[in-house]
A and B are shown apart, each in its own frame.
Chain A
Amino acid sequence: MQPLRPHRARQHSNDPAPSVLSYRLLRLMLTPVLRRLVFYGIPAFVLAAGCGLYFAKQENRDRVTAAYQDIYRSVIERPEFIVKMMTVRGASDEVDQDIREVVPIDFPISSFDLDIQDMQKTIRALDPVAEVKLFVRANVLEIEVIERTPALLWRNAEGLDVLDIQGNYVRSAATRLDYPDLPLIAGQGADSNIMEARQLLAAVRPLQDRVRALTYVGERRWDIVLDRGQVLMLPSDNPVRALERIIALDQAQQLLARDVAAVDFRIASRPTLRVVAQNDDIVSINNTQSGEP
């Protein structure tokens, strides 16, 4: 029979049966929705709420950021990553100075703090610099520079500019005498047609001693100025051929050794000579066309 006070009696026997409460609790906990809520939902909520409350305060946020920064700095400031000096190769003293000016770096510095891309962009923006490579190698920042080679002098409204072979601006020159070897060109927009100027300079080599400058006229055609004030006026299309004809004339008849002020080949079918002042007549040299087909 049932004992009068069942629970008291059962405490003494080792009864394996679960109590009704624990049985129901287990069944409740095995309910899928509740189970997911207890094992995932509530922990996730508590975690999110805790993080939210902690980061709601500014000083906590600062503390975490500072701690993060401390760790970050302690890693990137290891001696392996420190850059102690900078070397510049392939640059003249002037350009070297300029580079050191535009990328001012306080050494020693961590290589993580160097923005190599940005530095390359800055250095390449310097006019005399054609190409630049940057490396960090064995705690040294190496900068390899290829400078633009001066090829022409260009006299324009602002003054005298040095251009490279592509017509890019390299630097300004104070006087013509700074670069006595370089040919001179003049005229507005001359730098935009450097290709033709180079061809003409190559073609005018037989007269090289006498050439003073190339002048770009009206942003379309070239004049070649020789000494004694002689001017070779070339057409806008195919000027090299016209120049070759002038040189051929000169070699055949010593045209330029005479008192000619200007040789006008702007119109190929009507070349014209202008002689010096005492004779105002304009001499036509139609006979030169006899060589033409």
Chain B
Amino acid sequence: MIELYESQRAMRAMRKAAMQRGVIAVLDVGTSKISCLILRFDGANQTSLGEGVGSLAGQSGFRVIGEATTMSRGVEFGEISAMSETERAIRTALQSAQKMAAVRVDHVIACFSGGQPRSYGLAGQTDVENQVVGEQDIARVLAACDVPDYGTGREVLHAQPVNFALDHRSGLNDPRGQIGQNLFTDMHMLTVDERVIHDLAHCIKRCDLELAGVASSAYVSGISSLVEDEQELGAACIDLGGGTTSLSIFMKRHMIYADTIRIGGDHVTRDISMGLQVPFATAERIKTRHGGVIATGRDDMDMIEVGGNTGDWEHDRRSVSRAEVIGIMRPRIEEILEDVKDRLDAAGFDHLPSQQIVLTGGGSQVPGLDGLASRILGQQVRLGRPLRVHRLPQSFSGASHSSLVGLSLFAAHPQDEWWDFEIPHSRLPTRSFKRAVRWFKENW
């Protein structure tokens, strides 16, 4: 536990250093694309709050000064499989973003969707020492959480206290300074495969950069695509990515559940590729230009040129109707949504007061998806786009970049995690100076 604690604390310190320098990069390592934004933190609020622009949810302290997207290579299911290829792709993205920003970036915050994240709900309870809740009481109640055995080879990615309760009062955000006897906490912990984080860290280190934070892309796309009342009342964000579909459930502005399904848009493309006997790139073009999930009579007459360059005239002049493409795509998308439904049911999403579901990510751009999703997932389904960020280019404002925008919000205003609180004295090493100070305080 301590090592993780230390490395997460080190990353927090790195983020602080980056904030002082004012420039930080955020990097979304996805299965189909790797994109990068370079943010400049000026401190001053330079946004003009024009018509139709709200308070910008507090993210107006930074602006985007560089951006780049490149095709991802060597990433499968959100996990790095060919490290040198991925390293080169990251380098491509970073170099063009740095060129655009004309600044050198040394710190990067990354997110990924792989690693089979698993959510755990933790609960802890402790007595308040001096009647008034202090930093140390919170540290002790967090330490008192009974950590489940999440298995070797896994690492904690997020551990956020979502609720504090003092005696009979629950739903406290910040119990410090309040008077009570027993302090309870609920914590949400997300673990991922250790190997995935290490691969990512290694790749970033190979690019001469410092890792200033890691986030799950399920979490960050929820931050950017759920609007405030959805985060407050409870909603699920489903990010239909290239290799994975990640889902996160938010309640009272905290993520309470996250999961990943290892099926994504690439599988749809592969189905088309296999079904129509066309190369992967052609299948991708057909999917993005002509894809859909709900066929109408008109689609039978809508013929799509498949093309090809085999030299066989018959083979190269084939054409398929749009209805056929939809017929290939729909079962796979239904499968994805059924899986999502299973995971949401397993998480107990139907017990939440609000059943709002937001679809985002590149896969959510399939025409008619919201209709299909509302048939499977429930009535309250909408398509989500990321929040507006100051100077975000138009090409990055689509649903496919919601996790990147969420990551930049996460970089600007990270939520308090376990490692942002104090370490309880009892866990400090025996010869620590703080422990000696505490001994003096207690005895005099």
Contacts and interface: CB of A to CB of B under 8 A. Distances in A.
B391 interface: no
Nearest to B70: A16
B341 interface: no
Interface residues of B, number: 16
A27 B208 contact: yes
A156 B94 CA distance: 103
Contacts of A24: 208
A30 B98 contact: yes
Contacts of B92: 16-18
Contacts of B103: 30
A16 B208 CA distance: 19
A49 interface: no
A27 B104 contact: yes
A16 B95 CA distance: 11
Interface string B83-122: 0100011011011001100111000000000000000000
A22 B91 CA distance: 10
A27 B102 CA distance: 10
Nearest to A10: B88
A26 B100 CA distance: 12
B207 interface: yes
B84 to A, nearest CB: 7
Nearest to B84: A2
Contacts of B89: 17
A175 B91 CA distance: 110
Interface size bracket, A side: 10 to 19
A17 B82 CA distance: 15
A23 interface: yes
- Max chain B Cβ within 10 angstroms of own Cβ: one of A17, A20, A27: A17
Contacts of A27: 98, 104, 208
Contacts of B91: 17-18, 20, 23
B95 A23 contact: yes
A163 B95 CA distance: 94
B95 A26 contact: yes
Nearest to B99: A26
B104 A23 contact: no
Contacts of A22: 95
Contact of A18 (B95, B102, B208): B95
A178 interface: no
B32 to A, nearest CB: 15
A32 B103 CA distance: 8
- Max chain B Cβ within 10 angstroms of own Cβ: one of A16, A24, A31: A16
Nearest to B90: A17
A15 interface: yes
A32 to B, nearest CB: 8
B88 A31 contact: no
B38 to A, nearest CB: 11
A201 B88 CA distance: 114
Nearest to A6: B84
Contacts of A15: 88
Contacts of B88: 15, 17
Nearest to B71: A16
B397 to A, nearest CB: 23
A30 B208 contact: no
A101 B53 CA distance: 87
Interface string A41-63: 00000000000000000000000
Nearest to B206: A20
Interface in A215-266: none
10 contacts: A15-B88, A16-B92, A17-B88, A18-B91, A23-B95, A26-B95, A26-B98, A27-B104, A30-B102, A32-B104
Interface of B: 70, 82, 84, 88-89, 91-92, 94-95, 98-99, 102-104, 207-208
Given A16-B70, A27-B208, A31-B104, 5 more contacts: A17-B89, A26-B95, A26-B98, A30-B104, A32-B104
Ranked nearest first, the 10 interchain pairs of A and B with the lowest CB-CB distance are A30-B104, A17-B88, A17-B92, A18-B95, A23-B91, A16-B92, A27-B104, A23-B95, A31-B104, A17-B91
